[in-house]
Structure 1
Amino acid sequence: MFKQLREDIQVVFDRDPAAKSKWEVLLCYPGLHAIWMHRLAHKLYKKGWTFWARFVSHINRFITGIEIHPGALLGEGLFIDHGMGIVIGETAEVGKNVTLYKGVVLGGTGKEKGKRHPTIGDNVVISSNATVLGSIKIGNNVKIGAGSVVLREVPDNCTVVGVPGRVVVRNGRKIGDAKITTIDLEHAELPDPIAEMLACMQRRIGILEHRLLELEGKKDGSQSI
């Protein structure tokens, strides 16, 4: 148990430059407290003591602002930064070395029973206020941009942004490779597909204007169209 606690604390130091001391992490990190309380709730849930499991998760939500259903499966190395407003559903599965920021939702899309929440792969970063809905799989080494809404499965090694979420980078740097031990947390430096599309349209319009001037015999551009 103490080995697990030490590993949890080390995860915070590895991914949060604001962490200054072990006592600070131990006492002042609600994301860490939420994970520890969830482990207790999950054990109660597996034993069939669903009321007490939900009661512990409710206390967890009251204290930390993080709502994790006791049935959810959380992998090793999970880091919840700030955490306020995070919701993780009953059948959600979170892989190893995942990072979740404020307001992330791993939710369902309807009243269906069975597996209805997402499965998150290893080494995934989900930025602030991103939402992943439904029984979909998010691959390994994926980054999901802030405010994105992901409704479809995402392959490994991708970056997703937008509403609905679109894959804008694929097969980039593979942070899950065995030779690489760091996790790419640069979730503020993601491509903007809308800005890129507008820039492309602007370039295309310039080309078309120039071609029209040529066809009208106004190659010198002295007259505007």
Structure 2
Amino acid sequence: MGIAVGSLTNWFSNVKADFEIIFERDPAAKHWLEIVFCYPGFHALVLYRLAHWLYSCGIAFIPRLLSHIGRFLTGIEIHPGATIGRGIFIDHGMGVVIGETAIIGDYCLIYQNATLGGTGKESGKRHPTLGANVVVGAGAKVLGNITIGDRVRVGAGSIVLQDVPEDCTVVGIPGRIVSSRTGRGCPLEHAKLPDAEGRAIRSLVERLEQLEQQIQKLQNNKR
């Protein structure tokens, strides 16, 4: 009885943290009724936390059924076996997939169409582990049994296949570390990411212009 009461208290505590973080991170949230009725990410997390509790009790079918219902209602698929911390915000949410052995730290921010998935049919731990305050941009894929450190930002559309140390920004396909920083920063500034490809292209263009100028000088000297 004591274990059940403790689990129920923990469930309410986590749901409360998920609810409160929305006001902190979404300027569009004006009223608590909006969150209760109009935020699919919050709905998916509420159902997940109930399903995860049942899953932890060794119940097989009902947790998966709740997960399926949550997917049908919200477009967000969270396996009941995943381990998710408190204060999680799934923004917009449509298309988000979180695998069975994924671990998500506290106060992470996940945007629509992001995937925390596996890379094959291996058993055991096969999904990523995210630290605290990680931001996963829209359409990003974090795949395999890898570790993403605290306060990492994964750029929109990136595919991350290797471990990333804390306080880094990762962009591209495959994901590459393009900057590291200290301090927490603002998790909502996920769009303000370095343009590694753009810098490389500009560097090549500048080098090409320099070579063209040198060739032109050599041709003029021959005349």
TM over 0.5: yes
- The equivalent residue for 1:129 is 139
Does the 8 Å contact 1:127/1:144 carry over to 2? yes
- The equivalent residue for 1:212 is 215
Query: Residue 174 in 1 paired to residue 188 in 2?
Result: no
Does the C-alpha gap of structure 1 residues 81 and 115 become closer, same or farther in structure 2, counting only changes over 3 Å? same
In structure 1, give the amino acid aligned to 2:183: K
- The equivalent residue for 1:11 is 21
Task: Identify unmatched segments of 5+ residues in structure 2.
Answer: 1-8
Aligned with 2:45 (options 35, 38, 56): 35
- The equivalent residue for 1:198 is 201
Query: What is the deviation of 1:194?
Result: 1.4
Aligned with 2:169 (options 153, 156, 159): 159
Question: In structure 1, what is the Cα distance between the partners aligned to 2:62 and 2:17?
Answer: 27
Tell me the SS of whatever aligns to 1:174: coil
1:36-60 per-residue CA deviation (whole Å, 9 max, x = no partner) reads: 1101100111111011110111111
Query: Residue 108 in 1 paired to residue 111 in 2?
Result: no
Aligned residues: 213
RMSD: 1.8
TM-score, normalised via structure 1 length: 0.89
Question: In structure 1, what is the Cα distance between the partners aligned to 2:76 and 2:16?
Answer: 22
Structure number having the greater helix percentage:
2
- The equivalent residue for 1:140 is 150
Does the 8 Å contact 1:123/1:183 carry over to 2? no
- Percent identical pairs in the alignment equals 52
Does the 8 Å contact 1:101/1:126 carry over to 2? yes
Task: Identify unmatched segments of 5+ residues in structure 1.
Answer: 176-181
- The equivalent residue for 1:186 is 189
Query: What is the deviation of 1:215?
Result: 4.0
Question: In structure 2, what is the Cα distance between the partners aligned to 1:54 and 1:3?
Answer: 23
Query: What is the deviation of 1:212?
Result: 3.2
Question: In structure 2, what is the Cα distance between the partners aligned to 1:54 and 1:184?
Answer: 31
1:25-77 per-residue CA deviation (whole Å, 9 max, x = no partner) reads: 11111101111110110011111101111011111111111100000000111
Question: In structure 2, what is the Cα distance between the partners aligned to 1:30 and 1:56?
Answer: 15
1:125-175 per-residue CA deviation (whole Å, 9 max, x = no partner) reads: 1011100110000111111111111111111111111111111112x2420
Query: What is the deviation of 1:4?
Result: 4.2
- The equivalent residue for 1:178 is none
- The equivalent residue for 1:59 is 69
Query: Residue 150 in 1 paired to residue 160 in 2?
Result: yes
